[in-house]
Structure 1
Amino acid sequence: MTFSLIGRCARSGQFGAVATTSGLSIGSRVPFLAPKVGGVLTQHRTDPRLGPRGVELLRSGCSAQETIAALEASTPYHGYRQLAAIDAAGRTAHFHGARVKPAHNDAHGADCVAIGNILVSDQIPAAMVAAFVAEPERHLGDRLIAALKAGEDAGGEGRPLVSAVMLIVHEESFPYADLRIDNDPDPIGALSRLWDLYSPNLDEYVLRAVDPDNARGG
């Protein structure tokens, strides 16, 4: 009942993730990222503890594959878990537990990996990856939204979606963007509109934190 993608912009070095589901508060449970490190997706009977643990493994120098292997080994309930990771070099890995419900699948592309479970079609992750890699010159946030829309257009999940998230990290310890939609009949559309409103101010919000003397706003 979740489809998601985690990826990297090779030009800017930014990492980002998007996810959507028929459950509430996906933004607090699924994507975990760290600047210049990479990140992890954890879903399907989600254990949010695996996200920070995976980020710390990546930070310690583990590859994406080593991180996923360690996360699988560290949880006694790995059969219920669906995981994905990307490391600082853009390498990706995933894991599907034996109890992850169909349709489920994964897809890998340049600097990205998509996973999904309880989907209408097992081709949804592939559609997400195809959209993400199609225009690498676009802003990472635009590419993430395109991937989410492609997953929905490919069939999405069988139940109505209600929440969505976009998380992007860049150079600072705080998120470059952390946008969340909850309890909305069209969470992907709402997230897309929110991104369009928020994205022109991305660098201004960073400037307010690191160089407030030269910031425009209050």
Structure 2
Amino acid sequence: MTFSVVGRCEKTGQLGVAISSSSIAVGARCPWVRAGVGVVATQNVTLPALGQQTLDLLEKEALTAAQALEKALLTDQWNAYRQVTVVDGQGKTAVHSGDKALGIYHAVEGDQCVAAGNMLASHAVIEVMVHAFEKSTGLLGDRLLEALQAGLAAGGEAGPVHSAALKIAGNESWPMVDLRVDWADVQPIEQLAQLWKAYKPQMQDYLTRALNPTAAPSYGVPGDE
């Protein structure tokens, strides 16, 4: 049903997730990120609350990724059905794959990243994703999408993919990137990559607009002076 990668940029401290699924609107339920705190992907019979709870535990109780995930899972009697990945604000990782996860499932913890999936074409999909993230350079969005595309090229899900999302937190309380393809009959990951390509040159401008409107560039739309 889903394959994803969560990761941290060691240079900037940014945290993010790239995820895809055969289900509709994966970006509405599965990716969770909080600036300086952590990033979580909740998948495989998803319980979105696990994302929020894990981030709250990381922030309020100063737990490690593994400690926060373990404590969050204790609140869920159905955790055998869940697959959850975490990278905390220091780059430490954690993962849970319940024994009732669907189809071929796998998860790999790498250097400041975790890739995981279920209903996979093969275990190699996840291993390729971690390798792609670790060897990549550039912006975190580029690296996450490179890993997601590498997973797709290695076989991806056993069935067709229909939705994809990219979510990244920088220094502010809101996500600096929140892009979604909620449904596409074909190539949602490619469509997400095109959204990122269009958004990336404007990303800093939107941040400037929020923090200091007097320094913001004009886009020439009606009323924009």
Equivalent residues, number = 217
Residue 190 of structure 1 is matched in structure 2 by 191
Equivalent residue, structure 1, for 2:102? 101
Structure-1 separation of matches of 2:47 and 2:31: 11
Deviation at 1:64, TM superposition (A): 0.5
Q: Which deviations, in whole Å up to 9, do the C-alpha atoms of 1:155-189 show, x marking residues without a partner? A: 01121111000000001111110000022111010
CA distance in 2, matches of 1:194, 1:212: 24
Instruction: In structure 2, give the amino acid aligned to 1:35.
Output: A
Counterpart in the other structure of 1:200: 201
1:2 aligns with 2:2: yes
Q: Is the 8 A contact 1:36 1:170 kept in 2?
A: yes
Q: In structure 2, what residue type is equivalent to 1:174? A: W
| 1:128-157 deviation digits (Å, cap 9, x = unpaired) | 111111123x11110011011011011011
Partner of residue 164, structure 1: 164
The TM-score with structure 2 as length reference comes to: 0.94
CA deviation map 1:19-48 (0-9, x unaligned): 001100100111100001112111111011
Tell me the residue number matched to 1:209.
210
The higher radius of gyration belongs to 2
What's the % identity of the aligned pairs?
38
Name the residue aligned to 2:115. 114
Instruction: Specify the alignment match of 1:24 in structure 2.
Output: 24
Please state how far the C-alpha of 1:102 moved relative to its aligned partner: 2.5
User: How far apart, CA to CA, are the structure 1 residues paired with 2:74 and 2:20?
Assistant: 27
TM-superposed deviation, 1:3 = 0.2
Distance in structure 1 (CA, Å) of the matches to 2:150 and 2:71: 31
| Moved segments of 4+, more than 4 Å | none
Give the CA deviation at 1:193: 0.6
Contact 1:67–1:85 under 8 Å retained in 2: no
The code of the aligned residue for 1:63 comes to T
Task: Tell me which residue corresponds to 1:12.
Answer: 12
Aligned partner of residue 103 in structure 1, secondary structure: coil
- CA distance, structure 2, for counterparts of residue 19 and residue 135 of structure 1: 17
**2:93 corresponds to which letter in structure 1?**
T
Residues 95 and 109, structure 2, Cα contact 8 Å, conserved in 1: no
Residue equivalent to 1:50: 50
Asked if 1:155 is matched to 2:155, the reply is yes
In structure 2, how many angstroms separate the alpha carbons of the residues matched to 1:124 and 1:14? Answer: 25
Task: Report the 3-state secondary structure (helix = DSSP H, G, I; strand = E; otherwise coil) of the residue aligned with 1:99.
Answer: coil
**Structure 2 unmatched ranges of 5 or more:** 219-223
Task: Specify the code of the residue in structure 2 equivalent to 1:171.
Answer: N
Whether 2:181 is the aligned partner of 1:181: answer yes
> Is residue 78 from structure 1 mapped to residue 79 from structure 2 by the alignment?
yes
